[in-house]
Structure 1
């Protein structure tokens, strides 16, 4: 791959190779609505939390007590509130957790499992995968997998790359480590199979989107220009609209949250209101990413989008 050329100088094989290296394959949204989602539901709802806590700051070498305290709130203040709210709504969620966070608090990941939630891999220290070589990325994900499996007694079946930073090596690493699904990419609103260099991989992608993430709306950077630019109740309407549109299409609604961001009193009102709205619709299945991947597994390798004859 020519590194001394500008992109406009690349030949077709080069730019096409970049585009086609990791690609969306067959949709896993079954044409038969009764089979599409678990329990014959009209729509599938996946609520996830990236329990990053102190690791984004640690990754960048920002180790001041102030930065550590901001991350500590995620585990100390937010997670207990979130867990209570999920119990009230009888919701199973997916918690993607950097291994360093799990090592800092060895009871946290087992606590998620004990409450019926899923724990997925989310890197070692919230590293930036695109800054790593393949061997380092593999080693960090393997170590993370080992930590979470050891603590919980359950081997994670899914991975979410930190910051959704998916490198040229990430899919290869995911395949080598035998993950069932990934949840880091954005090629569709519905689940699909990942292709690597044009070939089906068997890896299920449960896609994400910045629209359905709390960070773009609510993050705060003390010394930078990043400021929350939206009242929480206005954000609730965006996510209600996203859910209603997914339900109208018989599709999936997937949401990514962060305890240290969403887990404040005025902001948890958003999650409470959203879950109430979803429950009131009456025809949504709410479960973990792993549960949905297990439901979709029989569809991989088949053409589920054909209309019935």
Structure 2
């Protein structure tokens, strides 16, 4: 029997200026200018993807689309998927429910205005989520979320309403029909490459990143047929010369494997959902669905 291929997604985070003004709370124009490198390096990434005929997913905050509308139009014109990535790369835990709704509305409004797109994918900034996030993801009709780490290479259906009361049993919430595509910090270039005083050590050699990425890819292609290998890069990090050479080598390495193929997150999520009805998936994955947990030690 032919094994289903591993789908390799190169997800491109277009955080630009917002990464520094919001996530790192900088008021230093020099530091903030690091985000401007997206306006240069994104075209290097786009040309690499075009050479290798790869359709990717670009994670776009509304703030970036307002700062660089032509850049986002060029990404869309080259046929890549646009996914929602917040308004200004904010942490949703800093806002009440009404505030989180305003963030969704504002980010989606900008993407509609700039490229006429209503994304099917939600990826929370810095993968930070609140108690309300997944209920809102369902409410706004997203096909998939790419913000969770419960698995490494196999999708799940996302739960909403999980609770974690202090010193009490974990409370698993309600299963939704939103597809959860896995992410992981070792497969993100920012912690590996970016240097921020007192925050990130960064400056990892490309050879070390290549060892990590190849190791995870080799494991996934051998053990997770039909799964997804989701590498998250950022032009301002991976778009620098020695890292572009790494990315080229890694793409060529993947292409040498017949059991792997490239794709975007949205296309993969659509196929996976069609092949894995939620009820059947729940029966096969009760622990990931949140079934069977004890809420107390009371005996009947």
Task: With the length of structure 2 as denominator, give the TM-score of the two structures.
Answer: 0.84
Q: Does residue 62 in structure 1 map to residue 26 in structure 2?
A: yes
Separation in 1, partners of 2:27, 2:8: 36
Among 245, 248, 264, which residue is 2:240 paired with? Answer: 264
Query: Is contact 1:49-1:94 (8 Å) kept?
Result: yes
Query: Is contact 1:50-1:259 (8 Å) kept?
Result: yes
Query: Is contact 2:255-2:261 (8 Å) kept?
Result: no
Among 91, 100, 107, which residue is 1:137 paired with? Answer: 100
Residue by residue over 1:80-138, the C-alpha shift from the partner in whole angstroms, topping out at 9 and shown as x without a partner, is: 11111111111111110110110011112221111111111111111111111111111
Query: Is contact 2:156-2:180 (8 Å) kept?
Result: yes
Could you tell me which runs of 5 or more consecutive residues in structure 2 were left unpaired when the two chains were aligned.
162-172, 285-300
Separation in 2, partners of 1:116, 1:244: 28
Separation in 1, partners of 2:271, 2:66: 31
Among 46, 60, 67, which residue is 1:104 paired with? Answer: 67
Partner of 1:18: none
1:1-309 matches, within 5 Å, as: 41-59=4-22, 61-75=25-39, 77-189=40-152, 190-197=154-161, 198-221=173-196, 223-224=197-198, 226-249=200-223, 250=225, 251-298=227-274, 299-303=276-280
RMSD of equivalent CA atoms: 1.8
Separation in 2, partners of 1:279, 1:61: 39
Question: Which one has more relative contact order, counting CA pairs under 8 Å at least 6 apart?
Answer: 1
Residue 288 (structure 1) shift: 0.7
Residue 229 (structure 1) shift: 4.9
**SS of the residue 2:179 aligns to:** strand
Query: Is contact 1:92-1:286 (8 Å) kept?
Result: yes
Count the aligned residue pairs: 267
**SS of the residue 1:184 aligns to:** strand
Could you tell me which runs of 5 or more consecutive residues in structure 1 were left unpaired when the two chains were aligned.
1-32, 35-39
Residue 78 (structure 1) shift: 0.9
Query: Is contact 2:191-2:200 (8 Å) kept?
Result: no
Residue 68 (structure 1) shift: 2.8
